[in-house]
Structure 1
Amino acid sequence: MITFAVEDWFDVRDHMAHLWPSHWAEVAMNRDTIRLEIDFDSYNQHAATGALHIVVARKSGEVIGYHVSLVRPHLHYKSSLSAFTDVYYIAPPHRTGRTPMRLFEFVERSLKARGVEKLFTGTKLSLDAGPLLQHLGWVPTEMLYTKYIGGLNGSSTNRKPT
């Protein structure tokens, strides 16, 4: 049975770490030029201020998924608390049945209990969670574009995302 719980970053980060490389390999763009390098100082700072909201999915005690968001007032609506999704992931063998839906439903309930009024998340076009989000009542509102401009000597490139 898969269970969901809000957990503390400092208690759970080491238990989540085994999933990060596979998550990165599955969805990250520009893997050939930008390596995975978790900014632990920033995560620690957000956790210390209470802004980091982590929901963990476990099976037999092992972390098999997570949803991480930052909770703060919106810069345009300072009296309204918002949650901005950082990352979400469920290990592929556990993406069966209602598990993804149950993760998001738990996230919504736990954020609402914190007083959050509005949720913001995205989905990768290469691993589209849009149908699930729309089934749960989320509304598509924007399309996010990215462009790698690193290259040699800061030159722009038009590489295909990887």
Structure 2
Amino acid sequence: MITFAVEDWFAVRDEMSHLWPAHWEEVAVNRDTIPLELDMESYDRYAMCGALHIVVARAGGEVVGYHASIVRPHLHYRSSLSAFTDVYYIAPAHRTGRTPLRLFQFVEKTLKERGVQRMFTGTKKSLDIGNLFEHMGWTEFERHYVKTLR
């Protein structure tokens, strides 16, 4: 059974790190020119000021997934606390049944408990889970583009 919990970044980051290369391999654009190189100092700063919200998925005690978001007032709506998704991932072997849905339901619940009014997230075109978001009542409102400048 997979369980979900909000966990402390400093306590769990090393346990999460074994998933980062596989996550990057699966979804990163421009892997051939831009290497995976997490800015740990920035993550640490967000965690220290209470802005980093980490939800961890565990199976048998092992970290098998995560969701990370930055929680802060919106720059355009200062009185509105928002959560901006940084990353989410569940190891492929654990993407069974309702696990992805349960992860996002837990994230929503815990962010709402923090006073968050709106969540922002995205989905990769190569691994589109937009149907899941729509099922959960999310609204598609924007499209993003990326261009590598050489």
Range class of TM-score, shorter chain: over 0.9
Residue type matched to 2:74 in 1?
H
Matches within 5 A, 1:83-162: 83-150=83-150
- In 2, the alpha carbon distance for the partners of 1:40 and 1:137 equals 33
TM-score by length of 2: 0.99
3-state DSSP of counterpart to 1:64: strand
- In 2, the alpha carbon distance for the partners of 1:90 and 1:131 equals 17
Q: Does residue 69 of structure 2 align to residue 64 of structure 1? A: no
Q: Does residue 37 of structure 2 align to residue 76 of structure 1? A: no
- In 1, the alpha carbon distance for the partners of 2:27 and 2:89 equals 10
- In 2, the alpha carbon distance for the partners of 1:67 and 1:133 equals 14
Once the 2 structures are TM-superposed, how far is the Cα of residue 133 of structure 1 from its aligned partner? 0.6
3-state DSSP of counterpart to 1:87: strand
Residue 29 of structure 1 corresponds to 29
Residue type matched to 1:43 in 2?
Y
3-state DSSP of counterpart to 2:55: strand
| Per-residue deviation, residues 40-62 of structure 1 (Å, max 9, x unmatched) | 00000000000000000000000
CA RMSD of superposed structures (Å):
0.3
The count of residues paired between Structure 1 and Structure 2 equals 150
| Per-residue deviation, residues 1-53 of structure 1 (Å, max 9, x unmatched) | 10000001000000000000000000000000000000000000000000000
3-state DSSP of counterpart to 1:56: strand
Residue 47 of structure 1 corresponds to 47
- In 2, the alpha carbon distance for the partners of 1:15 and 1:78 equals 35
- In 1, the alpha carbon distance for the partners of 2:53 and 2:120 equals 13
Q: Does residue 8 of structure 2 align to residue 8 of structure 1? A: yes
- In 2, the alpha carbon distance for the partners of 1:106 and 1:38 equals 25
Residue type matched to 1:34 in 2?
I
Once the 2 structures are TM-superposed, how far is the Cα of residue 93 of structure 1 from its aligned partner? 0.4
| Per-residue deviation, residues 97-119 of structure 1 (Å, max 9, x unmatched) | 00000000000000000000000
Overall identity of the aligned pairs, in %: 70
TM-score by length of 1: 0.92
- In 2, the alpha carbon distance for the partners of 1:66 and 1:125 equals 20
- In 1, the alpha carbon distance for the partners of 2:63 and 2:136 equals 24
